[in-house]
Structure 1
Amino acid sequence: MLFVIIGHDGPGGAALRPRIRPAHLDNLRPLDRAGKVKIAGPFTDGSGSLIVVDMESEAEAIAFANSDPYMTGGVFERVEVKPFRQVFPE
């Protein structure tokens, strides 16, 4: 199943992001190599990030989002996880 993870930056997120980014990317790489990261990146307005992942369950997606270094390191003040159904591209 696909899940959208929206990480909302906290007040100090912009300052923390460059320092924590390497750990965040290291956390994503195994999923990306397994073909489970469909798209990921920051919002250009500086409000946070979006990740679309293919996970077995919502619980797995929530656990992943909550353990991401951006969340545990204080870049994100909160994350949202929502099930997603892709329509395009087919």
Structure 2
Amino acid sequence: MKFVILGFDGPEGEARRKIHRPAHLARLEPLDAQGRVVLAGPLTDKAGSLIVIEADSFEEAQRFAQEDPYVRFGVFERVEVHPFMQVFPKAALPS
């Protein structure tokens, strides 16, 4: 199942992001190596970040989000996790 993780930066998010970015990326790399990161990156309006991952359950996706360094070190002041159904690109749809 796919899940969208939306992380919304707190008031000091931009400054903290620079400090904790290496740990945040290091946490995503093993999941990416497993092919479970669909996409991830910062929102260009500096509101936060968007991550789409494959997880076995909502609980697993939520746990992954809550354990992210950006959450633990106060980059994000709020995180939302939502189930997601991919429609495009069609090549990614199950046959």
Amino acid at match of 1:83: P
Matched, 1:75 2:75: yes
Task: Name 2:93's counterpart in structure 1.
Answer: none
Task: Name 1:5's counterpart in structure 2.
Answer: 5
Q: Report the count of equivalent residues.
A: 90
Task: Name 1:57's counterpart in structure 2.
Answer: 57
Unaligned runs of 5+ in 1: none
Matches within 5 A, 1:37-52: 37-52=37-52
Same amino acid, percent of matched pairs:
60
TM-score by length of 1: 0.99
Helix, strand or coil at the partner of 1:74:
coil
Cα RMSD after superposing both structures: 0.4
Cα distance, 1:78 vs structure 2: 1.1
Distance 1:47 1:87 in 2: 25
Give 1 or 2 for the bigger CA radius of gyration: 2
Distance 1:17 1:88 in 2: 30
Task: Name 1:32's counterpart in structure 2.
Answer: 32
Amino acid at match of 2:89: P
Task: Name 2:22's counterpart in structure 1.
Answer: 22
TM-score by length of 2: 0.94
Unaligned runs of 5+ in 2: 91-95
Helix, strand or coil at the partner of 2:26:
helix
